[in-house]
Amino acid sequence: DTEVTQTPKHLVMGMTNKKSLKCEQHMGHRAMYWYKQKAKKPPELMFVYSYEKLSINESVPSRFSPECPNSSLLNLHLHALQPEDSALYLCASSQDQRIPTGGQYFGPGTRLTVT
Amino acid sequence: EDQVTQSPEALRLQEGESSSLNCSYTVSGLRGLFWYRQDPGKGPEFLFTLYSAGEEKEKERLKATLTKKESFLHITAPKPEDSATYLCAVPLAAGNKLTFGGGTRVLVKP
């Protein structure tokens, strides 16, 4: 099973709202990632968790707050977002952050619209 | 500076018209090159990993090859369902951070 699941599929939120994106994988992968993707652009890395610890933060604004409750789950908490944060948010996982074998497996994404 | 460049940006093909996509990279110490397929509004789907020059991988109508400076994704006798954006990516030396090319949008017309 090479599936990464994400919920919700679509999310519309106001600039004062607080919401969360969820990601889950059951492949035994120990590295999990959040990406942001704008239309007709490649994914941009936001955060990396390795063995449930934050490994990389690509200078993401604090209105995005990641959380890794256990090795299978990854959350992205959203607060006071701006309209320019509207994008497709992708979760990915890989066997181990240090070993690039097998690539990263992506979920279907959450389409976020900030109004 | 590590860089990944894909060409062309867009490709329109007739069904059955074979073609190739290019991914050129300048990365010190290549630790793998990945190809993904992405349909509109969906997450990238993993296709291939290539590790060393001369390596080839195949899946249905797709064949990926690797040289020391570039990779090619050959689409043989494409069908309309092969229409998608194809992304290549390489991990940087630090932290397995994937650097993506800009992608090639492929449209196969029946």
DSSP reduced 3-state for A59: coil
> Does residue A63 carry a pLDDT above 80?
yes
Contact predicate A45/A32, CB 8 Å: no
**pLDDT, position A85:** 97
- What is the rounded CA–CA span in Å between residue B16 and residue B40? 22
B95/A99 CB distance under 8 A: no
Please state whether beta strands A18-25 and A53-57 pair in parallel, antiparallel, or not at all (unpaired).
unpaired
- Tell me how close the Cα of B104 comes to any Cα of chain A, in angstroms: 10
B43/A4 CB distance under 8 A: yes
**pLDDT, position A95:** 87
* Nearest CA-CA partner of B66 in B80, B49, B87: B49
Which band of pLDDT confidence, cut at 50, 70 and 90, is reported for residue A96?
confident
Tell me the mean pLDDT in the region A32-58: 94
**pLDDT, position B1:** 73
pLDDT tens sequence across B22-81:
999 988 778 889 999 999 999 999 999 998 999 999 999 999 999 999 999 999 999 999
**A40, A101, A109 member nearest B43 (Cβ):** A109
**pLDDT, position A99:** 65
- Tell me how close the Cα of B88 comes to any Cα of chain A, in angstroms: 10
Residues of chain A contacting B102 with CB distance shorter than 8 Å: 41-42
Q: Can you point out the beta strands (E) in chain B?
A: 3-7, 10-14, 19-26, 33-38, 45-50, 56-59, 62-66, 70-75, 84-91, 98-100, 104-109
Residue for token pair 């590790």: B51
